[in-house]
Amino acid sequence: MVNEASGSTMRFSSKDELALLLQRHEPLYAVLDAARSPHVLKLVHASSDEARSLYNGRRGEQLAAVAPYLVRMSTGSRQLEELLREGWGQSWGVLVACDSPFDDLRRHLRRFLVVQTEERQALCFRFYDPRILAPFLNTATEEERRAFFGPVSAFLMEGRSEGTVLRWLPAGAPTMQPNAPWELATIRDAQMMVFSQSLFERFIDRMEKTIQLRLKASSNRAVICEQIERARRYGIVSERGVERYLMIASILGSRFDVRVPWARAVLLHEGTDERRKLWRLECRLRRADSRAPFLADHAKPKGS
């Protein structure tokens, strides 16, 4: 076990061993992000235990397909098994060990769905994303950590390295909730910078691995970073859009936007948004290159 600040890293060699590690922390819950994958919502709906969105009322109804869900994970449950088999390493969510009743835990976690910056600008806090929660806990003060933990006895999540679990335990006694329940928790500017860097580094890790697996070739982080910058020049800035651009570049070459006339024409076409550009590139590439079948078959954007 390797200590990281007040957290620790546990290692496992198989998903069965991972399940045993996690089951030591019962009662166990998961906060799962339906926006990460359609499989998350299927897992939530198939749960035989308590499961409920962290959103309430009309907002909960409108955002049901992309909401964070609190789900109780029983020992040996099919939901936990599926989460570890399909979602571990995909940032589907985090695991929470807590002795409090389901509704009390949900009420506590809901307090952190919206936070504020130091300039008092409200923003959504995706604490249920391990790429956000790990750096938050690593940079939080002892007081911030106590307030965030509340009744939680441990947060557990996938580590950046394969075969690792990050476990965070509370620092001292929990902080009482403020008298004004509408008072937002504050995320400091320094923490915001760490979140952005963490998300970027995790994305690079994933893309480096994806390109190696699919093309059976070595990749270079500097080259991937250069391609991300090239994608931005053409208005391709979403995580999924940049991923698709990188896969095209892995086939056509790192400077395809300059060397390949038809690709350059698509990328420079005025009035064409990110989705249309990528769809047109992928369609042309499938017809022209035998290495392209692994590209996702995206639906045709309206107006293309």
Q: Which of 129, 152, 187 is the last residue of a domain?
A: 187
Q: Which domain holds residue 231?
A: 197-294
Whether 246 contacts 254, CB under 8 Å: no
> Would you state the structure tokens that stand for residue 9, as one six-digit string?
């890293």
Would 121 be classed as within a structural domain? yes
One domain, residues 79 and 215 = no
Would 192 be classed as within a structural domain? no
- Where residue 262 falls among pLDDT bands split at 50, 70, 90? very high
Q: What is the pTM of this model?
A: 0.68
pLDDT exceeds cutoff 90 at 29: yes
Q: Which of 142, 161, 187 is the last residue of a domain?
A: 187
Give the residues across from 30 on adjacent strands: 71, 95
Backbone angles phi, psi at 259, to 5 degrees: -85, -30
The Cα–Cα gap between 152 and 97 comes to: 6
- Where residue 1 falls among pLDDT bands split at 50, 70, 90? very low
One domain, residues 36 and 163 = yes
Strands 152-158 and 93-98: antiparallel
The Cα–Cα gap between 125 and 264 comes to: 38
Q: Which of 165, 187, 209 is the last residue of a domain?
A: 187
One domain, residues 101 and 57 = yes
Counting the structural domains of the chain, the total is 2
Q: Is 160 exposed, middle or buried (0-12, 13-18, 19+ CB in 10 A)?
A: middle
One domain, residues 112 and 219 = no
Least trusted range by pLDDT, from 28-37, 54-63, 183-192: 183-192
| 213 vs 297, residue with greater confidence | 297
Report the pLDDT value the prediction gives residue 95, as an integer from 0 to 100: 95
Report the pLDDT value the prediction gives residue 302, as an integer from 0 to 100: 63
One domain, residues 88 and 222 = no
DSSP-derived 3-state class of residue 197? helix
